[in-house]
Amino acid sequence: MRQAKGFSRRPDIEKDLLQEKQARLRFTTPEQIGALATYLCSDAAQTITGASPSIGGGWTTH
């Protein structure tokens, strides 16, 4: 990402700004994404076809 001249990056502030937009006020972890992928690859999910499960923590509804 290109940085504007005269401004320094503040990852802590960037994270807080993004996180407050999340309906659940926290980010989805890689482990949670992996758990969904594992489930979708299991026999328990064999009847799920043509679906696009959202794992954005409510981002699209907030």
| Model confidence pLDDT, tens digit, residues 41-51 | 999 999 999 88
Residue 7, pLDDT score: 65
DSSP 44-61: GGTT--S-----STTTTT
Angle (CA) 5 6 12, round 5°: 105
Tell me the pLDDT tens digit for each residue of 9-46: 787 877 777 777 766 667 788 999 999 999 999 999 99
pTM of the model: 0.57
